[in-house]
């Protein structure tokens, strides 16, 4: 059996996607192991989730640093101590700088609560409702210098109900996230997924747009 790929997960909050990743690793759905969880917020509940699973945790509080460069230098040092094959952003609410992103180019993923390229940034659920879109969902993409604009890999979607609130929509999308993110991480761990020339490559084929999770689950290795 191939040695499980070490993954460092970056969080800022409750860590529900972290929990989904840890569960998928523990059950063998992902040939990977979460080797460390790092938060930029001391009170993030995700740290407690990781501790309960026996995973090393670190808090690097960005408010204690005078600038972004010094914060990211400390963050990089902590990450590199674990030599991860992948850095997974799971609700990590900090915009990362150029040097940091270049350091981990091609091995850093993020999950975003919208159907990218629609609604990058914050408050996606309310913005979807305000725009009266009929569909919403989440997308996993490689992290690049463009905010939520890195090469998209896969998405999962749902139909917006009527009536619907931002809160109910957020909870429904979160269910999709918990399935989508482990699925994409599994592809990366199996070396079926990588980034080349700022394009996501899956099974040797370039992805010029994200594909539906249902296509991933039925797709065979080339």
The alpha helices in the chain, defined as continuous H runs, are 16-27, 45-52, 68-80, 98-103, 124-130, 166-189, 213-218
Contact 72, 65 (CB under 8 A): no
Tell me, yes or no, if 112 is annotated catalytic: yes
Half-sphere exposure in the Cβ direction for 166 (13 Å, CA): 10
Q: What angle do CA 47, 184, 151 make, to 5 degrees?
A: 105
Centroid of chain to Cα 190: 17
The alpha helices in 67-158, defined as continuous H runs, are 68-80, 98-103, 124-130
**Total residue length of the chain:** 222
- d(CA 206, CA 201) in angstroms, rounded, equals 4
| b/e map 170-209, b = 16+ CB within 10 Å | eebbeebbbebbbbbbbbbbeebbebeeeebbbeeeebee
Indicate which residue of 58, 62, 112, 208 is catalytic.
Answer: 112
Please list the active-site residues.
112
């Amino acid at each position: 059996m191939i040695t499980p790929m070490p993954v460092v997960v970056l969080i800022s909050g409750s860590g529900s996607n972290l929990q989904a990743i840890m569960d998928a690793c523990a059950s063998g759905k992902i040939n990977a192991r979460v080797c460390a969880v790092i938060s930029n917020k001391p009170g993030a509940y995700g740290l407690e989730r990781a501790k309960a699973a026996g995973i090393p945790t670190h808090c690097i509080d960005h408010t204690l640093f005078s600038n972004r460069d010094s914060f990211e230098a400390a963050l990089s040092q902590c990450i590199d101590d674990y030599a991860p094959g992948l850095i997974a952003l799971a609700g990590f609410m900090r915009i990362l700088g150029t040097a940091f992103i270049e350091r981990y180019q091609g091995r850093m993923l993020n999950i975003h609560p919208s159907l990218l390229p629609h609604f990058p940034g914050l408050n996606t659920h309310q913005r979807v409702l305000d725009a009266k879109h009929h569909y919403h969902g989440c997308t996993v993409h490689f992290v690049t210098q463009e905010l939520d604009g890195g090469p998209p890999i896969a998405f999962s979607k749902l139909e917006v109900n009527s009536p619907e609130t931002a809160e109910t929509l957020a909870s429904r999308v979160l269910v999709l996230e918990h399935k989508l993110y482990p699925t994409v991480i599994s592809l990366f761990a199996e070396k079926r997924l990588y980034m080349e020339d700022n394009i996501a490559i899956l099974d040797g084929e370039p992805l010029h747009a994200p594909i539906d999770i249902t296509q991933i689950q039925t797709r065979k290795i080339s």
